[in-house]
Amino acid sequence: MLEQVFVVEYTVSHQMCDDCHRTEAKDYWRASVQVRQKAENKKTFYYLEQLILKHKVHENALGIKPVHGGLDFFYSTESNARKMVDFLSASLPCKYQHSKKLLSHDIHSNIYNYKFTYSVEIVPISKDSVVCLPKKLTQQLGGISPICLVYRVTNSVHLIDPATAQIAEVNSTIYWRYPFGSICNPKQLVEYVVMDIEPIMDKERKFFPGQGTISNRHVLSDIWVVKASELGMNDNTIHTRTHLGHVLKPGDSVMGYNLEDSNVNDANFEKIDRSNIPDVLLVKKHYGDRSFRRRQRMWKLKRLAEGDTAFDSEANDFHEFLDDLEEDPALRQNINIYKDKTKQIPVDTNDKYDETMPQVTLEEMLDDLVIDDVEMEDTL
């Protein structure tokens, strides 16, 4: 046996696992979800934002990046990204495409390293828009008029025909089979003043076999209006039919579209007989000064990133979304509304208050949970 004494030198070679290596290289995400909508306003995105906050779908996201026309969500695993896509498909009418990019490949262990991307496209339709439906779709929806108003967008596009109060729902599958676009958007709304209104009795309506569902929440009425800008200068009243007979009375202001003077570039619209197109299509009641409504609003919504989202550049759209929540109780059922502690209930005010103005009731508001470190220290 041979024994020998010698010096052994060890060299420490630092290595990192794949996850740590991606962290050091600032390469965190492995899957992304790109949400886009080609619409004139951001109301649908505001609704989606509130759904995400309520169901806490964003908690697994590594980051949320606002981009033009939508949002990008980044995840560490493909499964988390897939959960977000499933949530979007269940919440809004949309479609998606899936792609992957090869980053590296180990030929010895046959391991592939991919980055996955889901591209989600939401239907380009928003609330209070006017759409023109294809003929095949109108037949499938119970003979509804081609010109309809979008009165709500949730997991389906909810339509109503103002001339008959007939309603229909278009889900994601039907929409992408018979796609259609908006011919008028909320930025084109014109204020009108109601001169006279007469409800239409059921015996005066025209019904036909196979007709779709008639709304029970709306009252079909004949209405005569004048443009607010021409009031007192032009006595030429405009007659039309509206589904808003339950909220309008003579002297009220109402927002609508002037279809007679609109320049519409739509293939489906050009196929309609001109006699079947109304001169004016009324959308919703106008409750006066919007700044007064903001001051009277005793509630608030949480945001994904307060003051740092693409939504802040569209402040007017956001306030219109808040108005929609006040006017539509069914829409705010899926949203968490919180008390705004910075607002005090006014005792005396010189502002003229409209008792018919819709409001969010106190029972619908939640208390915002705020953990104050100072108060916590005092209790210890």
User: Per-residue pLDDT averaged across 340-364, rounded?
Assistant: 68
Give the pLDDT confidence of 65-84 residue by residue, as tens digits: 888 888 999 998 999 999 99
Helix, strand, coil percentages for the chain (3-state, nearest 5): 30, 30, 45
Q: For residue 15, which amino acid is it?
A: Q
**Cα separation, 188 vs 300, whole angstroms:** 27
Q: Which two tokens stand for residue 27?
A: 């390469």
Lowest mean pLDDT among 152-156, 158-162, 251-255, 317-321: 317-321
> What contacts 13, CB < 8 A, 6 or more positions away?
none
DSSP 224: E
Contact 254, 194 (CB under 8 A): yes
Among 301, 300, 295, smallest CA distance to 349 is for 295
pLDDT at 295: 80
Contact 36, 119 (CB under 8 A): yes
Number of H helices, E strands in the chain: 9, 18
Sorting pLDDT into bands at 50, 70 and 90, what band is 230?
A: confident
pTM here? 0.83
Residue 170 has pLDDT above 80, yes or no: yes
What's 236-266 look like in SS3? CCEEEEECECCCCCCCCEEEEEECCCCCCCC
Q: Which two tokens stand for residue 295?
A: 């001051």
| Distance from chain centroid for Cα 156 | 11
Sorting pLDDT into bands at 50, 70 and 90, what band is 310?
A: very low
Lowest mean pLDDT among 53-62, 131-140, 291-300: 291-300
Residue 255 has pLDDT above 70, yes or no: yes
**Cα separation, 333 vs 51, whole angstroms:** 11
- State which H helix or E strand residue 116 sits in: strand 111-122
Q: For residue 202, which amino acid is it?
A: D
Residue 344 has pLDDT above 70, yes or no: no
Higher pLDDT, 107 or 137: 137
